[in-house]
Structure 1
């Protein structure tokens, strides 16, 4: 039980810390904007350093995929007949103290049709995983990490299947909650990564062939990929070889405005409905992606003034970034969804509600398993003594 009386005495310290951090953040932003001004005047300096030394950096650094100009046309919400497809997932992680060592992936599926009288699709698809090979794969990842990868894989594969079921003549947008970059694959070798990437890349190829733009929507992103590009102009050495010149125990000289998230930086520059330039992600795990290499931009999806804005990170494959029509459809569709959802894409919000596994669902899940185990004649069907005591307590 949480003792709120004892906790309340610690809150003023948090308030003071947040106040100090707000001032420090404003100073970091001021320095970053100064460097950005220099970058716009001498883009070739940063570009040459990134080409020559991008593979020698100790941090993930995106690179501009289009000119870094200040002004871009304001994006208008998508109108007319169109369909938005979205998926989101949740899971029950395996637990040795439960009745059975198994896990569950639940994918929420949403298909919303606009400008038609067609009924929407609102449902979820549960998948039960139980063989040890399903949860380990000898990859060095623990069961929970493997489960997260399987969930992300299921989300994209199901999204592609739903999107391709929409009539080809219909304007369609595919949305997924979260990043399209499979960060969880970074600890794996190239061969092990391929086992996970092949199904993902196959789904992306199906969407590309059907000309259906895919967007990963990230709210309150913590990424600093684009801000890290500014650091290339602050390196005092002839070559940007981080591992050679910079001591890991000290802050490098290029890190004068870190930590500064991209969303804070672009939030100071973007008006409602405006987007940042498009950037090519520098994540090494994307090296095998080819024409599906993930690009991103930041979009001010708010209707209020700058300073109160929600700056969303939008991720999409290279073939969306390179196609003006698909990119326009993707950005306009996202903005329309955010407005319909009063601040967050309505299709993704519905997919989340359909996917989430609540406490009662979890209890019913294991109760159903218990019934089947008893019916099958298995004995000693019960949770561990530790789990039983945690559920009952002594008070």
Structure 2
């Protein structure tokens, strides 16, 4: 229970502090815009990045001109769009026997046709030791959140590939979409280099299957928090020199910069992510991004980050196809791609379903004459006294 009286004491001064932060952010944003306009020679700037070797993640522009802005073309009249999203029930140390659940929702739209929408969810119940033994020697009860999340991401990509194959139509463009990043950030939290590299190899192997079958795959990140492009400007401003400027751009997100640079319906140029994890990706699969200005109410635009493997960026027209599909889906979905929202609805496991999941486990074990273990703490949390 939250004590609002005590909380109110801590909230004093909150508005004044936020105003100070907003003023500082506006000052940083103006400095970033000035630096953006002054960059001329991209190659020279990248050479400076290589010399400076900053500790920050720095995006590498793929075009000759940093200030590129592209008007996204109209979406093709007919196009196949498939999407997948995932959720999970993590292993619970208060419940025995140990297990966890992955659930992927996936959808297929045959846009511009009268073909029916395909909506489905695919659960994967993991309770056998063999299901993780290829990856680690630990028992199921010690499987970490990061490992389950990595397995879920693999399952999402695998299910998306299968659906794309089934939904594909001859002569019709096809786009495969995911929510969130294609960069395996959570992998580095495993602190087991061999296991990390194994997960990345498995993920990249799935991307390779998309490439071989010529299926453009991309991911959509709403309100991205990264600052790789801003960090490029920090190098341009000399922030990693012995005498840096007094005002640092640290804390300024890329989306704030592009909110001042892009009009609704436009995208930025292409940037290769500076993530160190990408060193483990095979060259064609290193992740490239563009920033997309999604139209919103009152003429405002939300800046989304769209990611795809490098091989998608190299194919003529594929980036524009992906962005055109996303813009139209955002228009239908009130600012967020409808196809991804539908995939999420198929994937999400709500609290009553989680409880029903554990109830089904208990019933099945009881019918088989087997015990089911649950800590007193977990029982009391599920059935509060007051």
TM-score, normalization by structure 2: 0.90
Deviation at 1:205, TM superposition (A): 1.8
Deviation at 1:346, TM superposition (A): 0.3
Q: Could you list the per-position Cα deviations for residues 143-192 of structure 1 after superposition, in whole angstroms to 9, with x for gaps in the alignment?
A: 11100101111111111111122124221111100000011222455543
- 1:259-298 alignment to 2 at 5 Å? 259-287=251-279, 288-298=281-291
- Which SS does the other structure have where 1:324 is aligned? coil
Structure 1 residues 211 and 318, CA gap change in structure 2 (3 angstroms): same
Q: State whether residues 28 and 247 of structure 2, in contact with CA within 8 Å, keep that contact through their aligned partners in structure 1.
A: no
Q: Could you list the per-position Cα deviations for residues 225-277 of structure 1 after superposition, in whole angstroms to 9, with x for gaps in the alignment?
A: 1111112223477xx7xxxx89xxxxx76971110000001111110011111
- Which SS does the other structure have where 2:125 is aligned? strand
What is the CA RMSD across the aligned residues, in angstroms? 2.5
Matched, 1:231 2:228: no
Between the aligned partners of 1:132 and 1:4, the Cα distance in structure 2 is 47
Matched, 1:387 2:378: yes
Between the aligned partners of 1:255 and 1:178, the Cα distance in structure 2 is 32
- 1:136-155 alignment to 2 at 5 Å? 137-138=135-136, 143-155=144-156
- Which SS does the other structure have where 1:94 is aligned? coil
Between the aligned partners of 1:13 and 1:354, the Cα distance in structure 2 is 43
Between the aligned partners of 1:71 and 1:143, the Cα distance in structure 2 is 42
Q: Could you list the per-position Cα deviations for residues 284-330 of structure 1 after superposition, in whole angstroms to 9, with x for gaps in the alignment?
A: 11123210110001000114567x32100000111111122211211
Structure 1 residues 19 and 132, CA gap change in structure 2 (3 angstroms): farther
Structure 1 residues 170 and 258, CA gap change in structure 2 (3 angstroms): same
- 1:365-384 alignment to 2 at 5 Å? 365-379=357-371, 381-384=372-375
Between the aligned partners of 1:351 and 1:254, the Cα distance in structure 2 is 46
Q: Which residue of 1 aligns with 2:178?
A: 176
Q: State whether residues 58 and 232 of structure 2, in contact with CA within 8 Å, keep that contact through their aligned partners in structure 1.
A: yes
**Structure 2 unmatched ranges of 5 or more:** none
Q: State whether residues 91 and 143 of structure 2, in contact with CA within 8 Å, keep that contact through their aligned partners in structure 1.
A: no
Between the aligned partners of 1:225 and 1:134, the Cα distance in structure 2 is 37
Q: Which residue of 2 aligns with 1:94?
A: 91
TM-score, normalization by structure 1: 0.88
Q: Which residue of 2 aligns with 1:249?
A: none
**Structure 1 unmatched ranges of 5 or more:** 247-251
